[in-house]
Structure 1
Amino acid sequence: MLELQDVYFTIRKDGADHNLVDQVSLRIPAGHFMAIVGPSGCGKTTLLKTIAGLQPESAGALLWEGRNLATEGDFAPSEIGYVPQFSVAYDPLTVDESVEAATRLRVRSKSTADLDHRIDRVLEETGLTTISDRLVKVLSGGQKRRLGLAMELVSDPKLLLCDEVTSGLDPRSEREIVHLLHDLSRKDGRIVLSVTHSLAHLELYDSVLVLHEGRVAFHGPPDKLNHYFSVKDTEEIYPQLTTRSAESWQASWQKHGVAYDQMIARNREKLIQKGALLLPAEVAEGEEPPAVKEPGFFSQFKTLLSRRWRIFLRDRGQVMLQLAILLCFPILVTIFSDKASGNIRKFSDTRQSDFIAEIQEQQNVRADQAKVGSAISGIIMFQVVLLALMGSNNSAREIAGERPIYEKEKFGGLRPSAYLASKLAFLSCLVVAQSLWMAFFVNYFGEFRGDFFQHAIFLLLINGAMTSICLGISSLMRTAEQASLLSIYLVGFQLPLSGAVLALPEHIEAFTRPFISAYWAWSGSVDALQTQVHTAVKSIIDTSLSVKGACLYTLAIHIGIGVIVAWAGARRAQWE
């Protein structure tokens, strides 16, 4: 039994309170199929999200099996299923892979046979068995809605909430989906609530809830709709609602509601007597059904990481982009590497007797230092900035680009820790491959004049720092476009604010330097140069170079900050 007692959902707008859900009271028994209808903006989706707990009620109470959800514990993830308007599956996966991933993320299976049985049963229930090997991207709208339902049914939820699952479908597909939802409500005492703007196929529902400006205008059997609203055709109900205020409709309903609730109860008894509505023995006897156990952290982590690699490898465009970056960026660096291979003349050990010759020698040494030092400094910074750009490309869209699906999976019991760990594991592979390839490729075609391994470590750290920070940005942004734009700006400011090309004013430099990852990677790599080359770089850069330890610690802190921000963003709910 689901019960709503004077439920409100209120927002603050233009300095005043507005009730999007206004004093809604309902009693919905097990095995009930209810439509929530009403004109656009009447609060249908808002009510559904309030029931789901995606937005807590402002007043009133929600009770599930006699339990107050606000004070005695919310829905367990396995108790409730929520099918949103958007697709909850990844296009590169097949139907079977999508359902399998959903099962592994939501249900702890006893064995592989148990897992396969659950998947096969759900595919059969939703009519997807014959197309289980098709990619999601080639499915029709109706097939995607069926897939969304299948991915919710893997945990056998007792309450299934569907938000506009028939919108945008052709009449035949709409009829098939409504019939499917009707059949699902007849199994195991499952309550199915379906928000819909359409007034077709209402005869399949046990009851219809009509909302008007957040208030209940009607709740009763579908065959009583026309009589109650004094219309000849169901399509005339919405225009009829506008003839009176929402307060007037609500007041009218409060006078007649009890009688219509009794009609719903009588119809339910008839269905049970005819055997059209079968309740499980546990529900009928008031016993608790066996709970579905959730998988552990490592199980979810393994499933997410495997799925992420499968999606990546099947995205030909993304694979080609990564290969192009991996090959082209190091080649760009080597084009300029010849300029860094020149010799730097040393001062002679004996003092020149000719003053002019001594001046000439100093000028030659300084010219060599300027030429080679400038080239080496520029090439190191070029590598650093390119790897920062790779880091931005790695993760800017990683969370923001799949935020709706992630929020849906988190609602179903996905641990944010498992999700973030899978992202870090996947991105770490990209960072290591990109950074080490850049280091070895450039060194092979133009030897690094210093401690190569120290330089490679700093290339790894700059890529890791920028990947981590952009992952944090991605976790905070609502859209992938916002995250990408902000990440590109962040990379763009790395070079001018690093002080590696032009020294900044001291008062600006002291403020910006701690935040510029590129400076610390560049400075740490310069610190690894041979003494003579290091001196050459210092001779042309009017800025203080930090020591190796400070650079390592600072970049590690940048990585840590990025991970912490990503963790905070991943935990925060960002439902639209």
Structure 2
Amino acid sequence: MLEINNLSYVVPGKNKEPLRVLEQVSFSAPGGHVLALIGPSGSGKTSLLRILAGLIEPEAGTLSLRGSDFLKQPLHPNQLGWVPAGDDGLIEHLTVRENLSSAAMLRGAGSTRDEVISRVSHVLVTVGLENIATERTSALALPQRRRLKLGLALVADPLLVLCDDFTVGLDVRSEREFEALLKLVAADRPDRIVIHATDSLANLGAYDTVVVMNEGYVAFHGPARAVPHYFSVPTYDEVYARLAKRPAQRWGDSWMKHREAYYAAFKLGGSAAEKLSAGDEDPGEEERTLLMQKEDGSEEPESRKTTVDETRPTLPLPGLFSQVQHLVKRRWSLLRRTPKDWITHVSLLVGAPALAALLLLPNLKALKEVRSGTSAADTLWPASHTASMIVLIQILLVLFMALRLGAREISERRAIYERERIGGVRPFAWLLGSLLFMLPIVLVQSIWMEMFLDIVSGGLPGAGLPKLVLPALSGAAFAAVCLGISASANSKESAHSISLTVLFANVILCGGLLGLPQVLGHIVHPFVTAHYGWSGIIDSMEKTAFFSPIDKLTRTWFAAPNIAMTMLGVHLLVGVVLTYVGLRQRK
């Protein structure tokens, strides 16, 4: 039994009165039950589902399942199946079976391959997708996507299945099919409860009971056949118009007055009492209805009684390492299946060093002459300027490639992450999975660029280790910072825009083009990733002929290589912390 008692939820207002979203909501549902949560937009349906899913906390009230208050002791993630309203939580480049298998591996510990296959096959049959199990998700029609979305919630065999606007956008025939599907899902496990929040008033008879909500109040709870009588309307379609004729609080008070009578009449609990319509509350009301005829008194059919003969154990969650391992493997598989992404990475791997080499070529002769010992001013100064600029260009190109990875990594997949987080995937697992996917790409790109430019130029000035390590560290640090932005931004467009702004600030403020006043530079540069990559390599040229002209050309202090590496490590750590904080936030 799921029991909701006096649940209230208030959203604090900014410079205005707090908004009371839910007001003393109370109802219950037994196992094997499908409940429709209906009401006009803004009635509090989604907020109630989010409270049940543990996504937000109520102001007051209790929630219990199997007699345990899960506000105090949250449900195990595998006891909950969450079906969100949006369709963007599916992984487009995986097949139907692969989507379900991925969810099963992230939610089930110690499962053998055969057990995963068996569980996924059962879900495929339950939701009616066994005939298209090998189709990619991107090729599915809307009804098939909805079935897959429900299947993802069922792979852990949950007790409580919450569906938010599951049938929105579907035609009438598909709506009927999906409501029948929800009944099949409830029947698949005797103690399972399915709640569907919807604005639709069509096919209410397909549900075991209906809860009508209005501006946060429960206005009715009972069988669909009783809804027209209670609201004194001839058809379901007129219920919302009827609700609008009376303040929501009066509907709530009226239901509290008549609730026990209806519960007794329809064997939903409570004590026996005379059955009344809500219209009887106002004696002068024209739309008074006749009292409902007494029910035949027959017992509920055996097929509809909820009897839990055995309690299935809750599937344990896999450990952090197992989740990270699967997320990294899945991310690389998705890259291979997305030509646009891997072609972009390969193009940058080839094109970025080629572009830097083209910018290096005009003064390549001067560089070689200075390395051979020439100290003439007309050779030394152009060569030193070229050395400084090629290091800066190299660092900025690495930062640009890191931005393309980090800014998109979480923001484009936020809906997938939120769905998997509700299913028990740890935020730290997603963080590590993202880093272990990005960092190898950043390291390969930066190291290859340095090696390529060294080969083309015959050897750029500077110490070997800083030249190799600092670009790689700069890319890793900036990728982590962009990942933090990606995790905290409200949209992928916002994440990309903010990351580009930060990259532009790195170009202007790193000190490679023109130096800031020394005092101001010491204040600003600790926040500028590019400064440490660029200046650390320049400082490693101190014992070469190139250093003195560069020092005179730019009024920027140069960080020693060890300091630069330390600061880039700090930037990397800051990015990791920002990412973790962003992943902990609910979107």
Length-normalised TM-score, structure 1: 0.92
Deviation at 1:118, TM superposition (A): 0.6
| 8 Å Cα contact 1:461-1:555 kept in structure 2 | yes
Which residue of structure 2 aligns with residue 564 of structure 1?
Answer: 577
Which residue of structure 2 aligns with residue 538 of structure 1?
Answer: 551
2:249 and 2:506 map into 1 onto residues whose CA distance is 59
Deviation at 1:270, TM superposition (A): 6.8
Pair 1:246-2:270 in alignment: no
Per-residue CA deviation, residues 144-202 of structure 1 (Å, 9 max, x unaligned), is 11101111111111111100000001122211111100111123221110011111111
Deviation at 1:272, TM superposition (A): 5.9
1:495 and 1:235 map into 2 onto residues whose CA distance is 61
Which residue of structure 2 aligns with residue 261 of structure 1?
Answer: 263
| 8 Å Cα contact 2:35-2:195 kept in structure 1 | yes
| 8 Å Cα contact 1:202-1:222 kept in structure 2 | yes
The residue type equivalent to 2:469 in the other structure is I
Which residue of structure 1 aligns with residue 380 of structure 2?
Answer: 369
Aligned counterpart in structure 1 of residue 353 of structure 2, from 300, 322, 330: 330
Aligned counterpart in structure 2 of residue 459 of structure 1, from 459, 466, 471: 471
| Structure 1 pair 275–549 and aligned structure 2 pair: CA distance change class (3 A) | same
Deviation at 1:543, TM superposition (A): 2.5
| 8 Å Cα contact 1:300-1:418 kept in structure 2 | yes
List alignment gaps of at least 5 residues for structure 2. 269-294
1:251 and 1:343 map into 2 onto residues whose CA distance is 86
Pair 1:410-2:433 in alignment: no
Per-residue CA deviation, residues 281-306 of structure 1 (Å, 9 max, x unaligned), is 13xxxxx5422111111211111111
Pair 1:186-2:199 in alignment: no
State the secondary structure of the residue aligned to 2:545. helix
1:422 and 1:505 map into 2 onto residues whose CA distance is 41
Single out whichever of 476-485 and 504-513 deviates more from structure 2. Answer: 504-513
Per-residue CA deviation, residues 330-387 of structure 1 (Å, 9 max, x unaligned), is 11110121314415888xx9xxxxxxxxxxx9xx733333211111101110111111
State the secondary structure of the residue aligned to 1:200. coil
| Structure 1 pair 373–177 and aligned structure 2 pair: CA distance change class (3 A) | same
Single out whichever of 531-540 and 424-433 deviates more from structure 2. Answer: 531-540
Deviation at 1:273, TM superposition (A): 3.7
2:462 and 2:160 map into 1 onto residues whose CA distance is 65
Pair 1:122-2:123 in alignment: yes
| 8 Å Cα contact 1:340-1:373 kept in structure 2 | no
State the secondary structure of the residue aligned to 2:176. helix
List alignment gaps of at least 5 residues for structure 1. 283-287, 350-360
Aligned counterpart in structure 2 of residue 441 of structure 1, from 448, 452, 455: 452
Deviation at 1:277, TM superposition (A): 4.7
1:294 and 1:332 map into 2 onto residues whose CA distance is 48
| Structure 1 pair 375–202 and aligned structure 2 pair: CA distance change class (3 A) | same
Deviation at 1:141, TM superposition (A): 1.1
Deviation at 1:321, TM superposition (A): 1.5
2:34 and 2:492 map into 1 onto residues whose CA distance is 37
Length-normalised TM-score, structure 2: 0.90
Which residue of structure 1 aligns with residue 411 of structure 2?
Answer: 400
The residue type equivalent to 2:440 in the other structure is C
The residue type equivalent to 1:342 in the other structure is A
Pair 1:280-2:308 in alignment: yes
Which residue of structure 1 aligns with residue 28 of structure 2?
Answer: 27
Pair 1:422-2:433 in alignment: yes
| 8 Å Cα contact 1:345-1:365 kept in structure 2 | no
Give the alignment of 1:478-557 within 5 angstroms: 478-529=490-541, 531-557=544-570
Which residue of structure 2 aligns with residue 132 of structure 1?
Answer: 133
Q: CA RMSD in A?
A: 2.0
The residue type equivalent to 1:39 in the other structure is P
1:276 and 1:244 map into 2 onto residues whose CA distance is 35
2:402 and 2:377 map into 1 onto residues whose CA distance is 37
1:177 and 1:5 map into 2 onto residues whose CA distance is 29
Per-residue CA deviation, residues 111-158 of structure 1 (Å, 9 max, x unaligned), is 211111111111111111100111111111111111011111111111
| 8 Å Cα contact 2:521-2:556 kept in structure 1 | no
Pair 1:385-2:396 in alignment: yes
Which residue of structure 2 aligns with residue 16 of structure 1?
Answer: 17
The residue type equivalent to 2:340 in the other structure is G
Pair 1:316-2:327 in alignment: no
| 8 Å Cα contact 1:373-1:539 kept in structure 2 | no
| Structure 1 pair 157–263 and aligned structure 2 pair: CA distance change class (3 A) | farther
Fraction of identical pairs, as percent: 32
Which residue of structure 2 aligns with residue 54 of structure 1?
Answer: 55
State the secondary structure of the residue aligned to 2:12. strand
Which residue of structure 1 aligns with residue 3 of structure 2?
Answer: 3
Aligned counterpart in structure 2 of residue 223 of structure 1, from 218, 222, 225: 225
The residue type equivalent to 2:560 in the other structure is V
State the secondary structure of the residue aligned to 1:21. strand
Deviation at 1:278, TM superposition (A): 5.6
| Structure 1 pair 26–450 and aligned structure 2 pair: CA distance change class (3 A) | same
| 8 Å Cα contact 2:517-2:555 kept in structure 1 | no
State the secondary structure of the residue aligned to 2:551. helix
Deviation at 1:423, TM superposition (A): 0.7
The residue type equivalent to 2:257 in the other structure is K
Deviation at 1:276, TM superposition (A): 4.3
Which residue of structure 2 aligns with residue 354 of structure 1?
Answer: none
| 8 Å Cα contact 2:540-2:560 kept in structure 1 | no
